Chain A
């Protein structure tokens, strides 16, 4: 490390580097500045679109000491191009972005925006709920907004279809861990190097320096310290909301006396993986957690290498955005299936499946006849569609305590794994929320969990395919 900071060498290099720097920075500018054509990256703005009812609104929330600019047009366009089924609304709290999320200008204003957008969606004939995509402290702002106790705004949780977080420090930030703060820690040291390096024109790490400076002085800084009272008081996301947490993971290694250490994770350098995954929940197959590979840093090398992303680049990173888009598309697809479920005739739908199945099974192997291949794909789609609608219709029957309609779906048998059979009626219990189902492939059973109003507090339903009837419940109970 000594050679890095050697003043004598620096002096000798000064003149040479001035020219080199200019040349390299100019080249970087050319590489990283969008071309004239690429500057036009349109996206659908929820506040401007005339057909919001046809689109799923996505609310973008930036993080600590940042602004709406954290979400560049390229990212917005990637998530909600004009021909997509989505639109973008950006929540900007730049002037309060070093305050804690309970500040009225953050939690309450975000909650109000979410509710208003959901109402606009409803008025336009849409689903009346939004997806929140939040970076860093923006995820904590969303936790506050979703709680009436924290933000004081009613109906926010009901207005949120799902939350996706990028590097949200639910347990605080590593920069404030172990009683240390920027830049005294090893991680902070590397971030400081990134800061210095990114003072070039590329803007790859732009924002870190500002963050580092603001970090020592703001009230959010205190709150983001692990085990702070502010963090412990912040309400969790309501259990009914699916939460997808994404964590960046940079691997680091060192060496002692010539023996390299194993690579170990420092999260996205600002937020550890544990902290970023501190709040996640899967509801009806949506949500969960995922780690994004941000590359490696060898501490023995003078500069970071193979370093692909960190906390400050997550809102622009293709890996993060791609995962978010997949989740949003899955939500949209699920909602579209559910919208038709109350009116669909399941018997008619199953007859369609039988016709397609006969055509598919009676045809040549895959790849020979495109028509048959299409029928086979459609057959598989109908099987999945029938499963979704069956689950929805059963749940609706249960909610209205319609035993007869419920029994239409229940075909118990005495298989050894049938589990604990309950009395023939579920009426004393009420379901809470949606079914959380795991699909198999083809004819494999489908398992669904649902919370209940009484005991047992959770029930598991095992669905299977009856060739004559379609999807039916084979068994249900607390421990099927």
Chain B
């Protein structure tokens, strides 16, 4: 029962939070610089690499270990990725930016970013 209440509270609070409570700036969180053109180019270049180790250089530390020996990160050879810096948004240490893939996985993707060691790293992607 207690767990049900906690989950209910979290989910309900989450719904509140996601739709209603974004007006106040997070007082405990410092602001971070936006994604720079150089960072965007580095991320785009790394993500289309055919070497997993290259890709991992722009992946969040927390996620990197999961993909250490995996090829799930790799895009088909010849794919290009164009990042639209104008779509970058961030709150606290987390942000996102849109990118467009060419090739067999062509389409618009949202790149999910987290601030680590004074740079933006990617921790996932989802269809935009």
> Which residue numbers of A lie inside 8 Å of B, CB to CB?
1-2, 4-7, 10, 13-14, 17-18, 20-21, 24-25, 27-28, 31-32, 178-180, 182-189, 192-200, 202, 204-205, 209, 212-213, 252, 254-259, 261-262, 264, 266, 299-300, 302-309, 313, 316, 318
Interface centre among A185, A196, A264, A308 (most CB of B within 10 A): A196
- B125 near A257: Cβ-Cβ < 8 Å: yes
- B2 near A318: Cβ-Cβ < 8 Å: yes
- A197 near B17: Cβ-Cβ < 8 Å: yes
Report the minimal beta-carbon distance from B18 to chain A, rounded to whole angstroms: 5
Known pairs A20-B20, A299-B124; A185 contacts B114 (CB<8 A): yes
B91 within 8 A of A: yes
- B72 near A256: Cβ-Cβ < 8 Å: yes
B53 within 8 A of A: no
Distance of A153 Cα from B59 Cα, bound (Å): 48
Known pairs A5-B89, A185-B116; A302 contacts B18 (CB<8 A): yes
Question: Which residues 55-110 of B have a CB within 8 angstroms of A?
Answer: 60-63, 65-67, 72-73, 75, 87, 89-96, 98, 101, 105, 109-110
Distance of A189 Cα from B8 Cα, bound (Å): 22
Chain A residues with CB below 8 A from B26, complex form: 192, 196
A-B pairs, 7 with minimum CB distance? A17-B20, A254-B124, A303-B14, A202-B9, A1-B96, A186-B62, A189-B94
Report the minimal beta-carbon distance from A173 to chain B, rounded to whole angstroms: 14
- B20 near A186: Cβ-Cβ < 8 Å: no
> Which residue numbers of B lie inside 8 Å of A, CB to CB?
2-3, 5-23, 26, 28-29, 32, 60-63, 65-67, 72-73, 75, 87, 89-96, 98, 101, 105, 109-110, 112, 114-117, 123-127
- B116 near A184: Cβ-Cβ < 8 Å: yes
Chain B residues with CB below 8 A from A6, complex form: 22, 89
Chain A residues with CB below 8 A from B9, complex form: 28, 31-32, 200, 202, 204
Of the residues B5, B14, B91, B94, contact of A197 by C-beta under 8 Å: B14
- A257 near B109: Cβ-Cβ < 8 Å: yes
The residue on A at minimum CB distance from B21 is: A196
The residue on A at minimum CB distance from B125 is: A256
Of the residues A2, A256, A266, A309, contact of B96 by C-beta under 8 Å: A2
Interface centre among A180, A306, A309 (most CB of B within 10 A): A180
- B66 near A262: Cβ-Cβ < 8 Å: yes
Chain A residues with CB below 8 A from B116, complex form: 178, 180, 184-186
Chain B residues with CB below 8 A from A17, complex form: 16, 19-21
A-B pair count, CB < 8 Å, reads 183
The residue on B at minimum CB distance from A263 is: B66
- B7 near A189: Cβ-Cβ < 8 Å: no
The residue on A at minimum CB distance from B4 is: A31
Known pairs A28-B9, A307-B10; A255 contacts B23 (CB<8 A): no
Distance of A182 Cα from B98 Cα, bound (Å): 25
Report the minimal beta-carbon distance from A121 to chain B, rounded to whole angstroms: 32
Chain B residues with CB below 8 A from A261, complex form: 63, 66-67, 72, 124
The residue on A at minimum CB distance from B23 is: A10
Report the minimal beta-carbon distance from B83 to chain A, rounded to whole angstroms: 14
- A193 near B29: Cβ-Cβ < 8 Å: no
Chain B residues with CB below 8 A from A316, complex form: 2
Known pairs A184-B116, A204-B13; A189 contacts B109 (CB<8 A): no
User: What are 21 sample pairs from A and B whose C-beta atoms fall under 8 A apart?
Assistant: A1-B112, A4-B91, A10-B20, A13-B20, A18-B20, A31-B5, A183-B92, A184-B32, A184-B93, A186-B62, A186-B94, A186-B114, A197-B13, A197-B21, A202-B13, A204-B9, A256-B73, A257-B75, A264-B65, A300-B112, A308-B6
Known pairs A13-B20, A28-B9, A256-B72; A266 contacts B62 (CB<8 A): yes
Of the residues B23, B29, B63, B90, contact of A192 by C-beta under 8 Å: B29
Chain B residues with CB below 8 A from A306, complex form: 7
The residue on B at minimum CB distance from A195 is: B28
Distance of A318 Cα from B110 Cα, bound (Å): 39
Interface centre among A2, A13, A31, A262 (most CB of B within 10 A): A2
Distance of A47 Cα from B23 Cα, bound (Å): 48
Distance of A14 Cα from B16 Cα, bound (Å): 11
- B28 near A188: Cβ-Cβ < 8 Å: no
- B123 near A254: Cβ-Cβ < 8 Å: yes
Distance of A302 Cα from B2 Cα, bound (Å): 24
Chain B residues with CB below 8 A from A14, complex form: 20, 23
Report the minimal beta-carbon distance from B25 to chain A, rounded to whole angstroms: 11
Chain A residues with CB below 8 A from B20, complex form: 10, 13-14, 17-18, 20-21
Distance of A184 Cα from B94 Cα, bound (Å): 8
The residue on B at minimum CB distance from A11 is: B23
The residue on B at minimum CB distance from A28 is: B9
Distance of A464 Cα from B87 Cα, bound (Å): 73
Distance of A468 Cα from B20 Cα, bound (Å): 76
Known pairs A257-B109, A304-B10, A318-B3; A189 contacts B72 (CB<8 A): no
Known pairs A256-B73, A261-B66; A1 contacts B17 (CB<8 A): no
- A308 near B66: Cβ-Cβ < 8 Å: no
The residue on B at minimum CB distance from A184 is: B93
* Other contacts beyond A31-B8, A184-B32, A303-B18: 15, CB < 8 A: A1-B89, A2-B89, A5-B22, A6-B22, A18-B20, A21-B20, A24-B12, A178-B61, A184-B93, A185-B116, A186-B60, A186-B61, A252-B62, A303-B14, A313-B6
